[in-house]
Amino acid sequence: MIDPIVDMLNRIRNACMVLHQTVDVPFSNVKYEIAKILEKQGFVKKIEKKGKKTRKIIQITLKYEDKTPVITKLRRISKQGQRIYVSNQEIKRVKGGRGMLVISTTKGLMTDREAKRQKLGGEVICEVW
């Protein structure tokens, strides 16, 4: 596996397509922070850390409205071969404000709205809508 964040996004996307209730993702701090942002913004129901030491996983409970997933698009922006950075003036709204960007700033991972409010730029990790 080359990029663990892409693996996490693919697992979530695939689980949404076949209407699974939960999806398990191998644990890392970055993936856990991304999952917390998704939960805070209402794209997933809840997240849980499970397991011990080397076998930790993140269990993500997906959210549906009338058997359609809340997450319709989940896309990695900054890839290993091409990093994408934005300043706070360059941050654009996603889907007219219905979507969000996850941005890695000097103060940690945050949404595009939080980064703009704090006047921070950084690497664009992914977009969700």
Alpha carbon separation from 100 to 44, 48, 58, 66 (Å, rounded): 14, 22, 21, 22
Which CATH number is correct for 4-69, 3.40.50.10440, 1.10.2020.10, 3.30.1370.30, 3.10.270.10?
3.30.1370.30
Q: Which fold has domain 74-128?
A: Dna Ligase; domain 1 (3.30.1490)
Reported as a single tens digit per residue, the pLDDT across 88-120 is: 999 999 999 899 999 999 999 999 999 999 999
**Sheet of 44-50, strands arranged across:** 22-26, 57-62, 44-50
Q: Following CA atoms 51, 53, 55, 60 in sequence, which dihedral angle do they give, to the nearest 10 degrees? A: 50
Mind listing the pLDDT tens digit for each residue in 63-86?
Answer: 999 999 999 999 999 999 999 999
Which residues have CB under 8 Å from 50's CB, separation 6+? 24, 56, 57, 58, 59
pTM here is: 0.95
Q: Spell out the domain ranges in the chain.
A: 4-69, 74-128
